[in-house]
Structure 1
Amino acid sequence: MAEHQTQSGPVQGKNKEDFVPEGDGRGITISGVPNARGIGGFPTLDGRRTKSGLFFRSAGLNFMDEGGVDDLHRLGVKLVVDLRAPWEVSQWPYQLPDDIKVERVSLLSEDSQPGDGSDGTLGEQAQGEELGMQMAPMYRDIAFGSAGKIMGILKELATGDGHPMLIHCTAGKDRTGITAGILMSLLGVQEDMVVSSYAQSAGNLGQAFKEAVLKGLPADAQGADDLEGAQSALLASPPALLQGLLQEIRQRFGSVEGYCLRNGMEPAEVQTLRDLFLE
């Protein structure tokens, strides 16, 4: 296995954009649900790899078709953590069998509403880096305003009955991507790989997903002035956005581990996650 010299440096002998994890990080099947994958198979800074089968992430489970529940059972999912805001839960409901527990943990500000840009789907027209700048305040609000909630998810994951866990929001890229990125960083996955994994969401979300979500938005959230920006933000996962957030976490707390410890995790829980996830 290649040696890693710095957290942000490339994995030797691999192109980060072309890297395919040797595990469920390459993708899983939940019938009808886009952007479904785990975090298994990623190299860490100490020369280990993340395990498969413990943590999954996806777009909303409201997209499941008839085979979706069977796939959740096949994956062994015991706990689903729904990161969506209450209005999204109401707009796009789903139901799971009693043997799969569902927890609702909204990572958005309580006063966020559809159409204000804070849900990561709507906003002013923007492209590329400009779009990332539009979305950056929402990312900070999630990471710093809901840090305690994110730690609650990780603490539950560290318990004996907290896995296999699946987390999702609507697209599975913003709230889900931040939470997964913090977990991967805490486990010691190289930052380039964390960011590359996050950026894959843009390619995993297709036209059918975009049309389904835009069709489901309240009519007053779909003004002509906002529609093009909404379509752009709905599918966007610019690498610089998560990379900038991780850099700000390090600036404020020294490291992702420091961020986790300052916001509710115990050192023993961090070690439990590393023992659980790394091989």
Structure 2
Amino acid sequence: MTFAFRHTVTSLLRPAALLLAATLSLTTGPGAARADDVLVFAAASLKNAMDEIAPAFEAATGDKLVVSLAGSSALARQIQAGAPADLFISANKNWMDTLEADGLVQSGTRVDLLANSIVLIAHGKDSSPVEISPALDLGALVGEGRLAMALVDAVPAGVYGKAALESLGLWESVSPKVAQADNVRAALALVAAGEAPYGIVYATDAAAEDDVTVVGTFPADSHPPIVYPAAVMAQSGKPAAAAALAYLRGPDARAAFEKQGFVVLGE
């Protein structure tokens, strides 16, 4: 990877330490969150939906959702380090399991909120579709370019993508060409900008970007189910946190999630 390419990746992202500092500033700085503000740590793939849900929640309740977006792994580690999140929405179950094992999840509040799928995307609007199967020569398809993915051993979208490629027998041939980004939206941005010709992202992310084409969907049985759990954090003492979680499961939030391509689970 050239220096210029590395610079492109890092310029799209905020390091976890900076994000933690920014998050903490919400409660300690001049613009500190009010007592009825609900600080939501949400997976980066939820950006478009949360952009719509947050103002609607405030209009309906008078309380405010302050949304901090990043890879689920970074957010979970920040909560472990003491970041004052009221709600956490993870893009996979493992990170919520970790926080629950650490005693950081308020008992009885955890719910499976959403489901998603992963797709192969290409730069531009008119790329040809491919059949994603063990017969796909993904390395040849990528050519001299890179396959953009979120961190394959930490960020859920990357973990799911690697699992799918391994299941299909494609990982070994393409792994040297993988460009890892800190979260799925950064991987999407690399493909949209033409820095990488192909990438693996959630279907919902692809739907939010005009400069990419979905060229194939990974078989559902090639990776673990993609489920987004949500819960109130144990340290939150705000009644509005439970109300916010209930709102996320209600009809207005459901419409926003479904518009972005999520499958809403449960109620």
Would you call these one fold, judging by a TM-score over 0.5? no
- Structure 1 or 2: larger strand share? 2
Q: Scaled by the length of structure 1, what TM-score is found?
A: 0.26
Q: Scaled by the length of structure 2, what TM-score is found?
A: 0.27
- Structure whose alpha-carbon radius of gyration is higher: 2
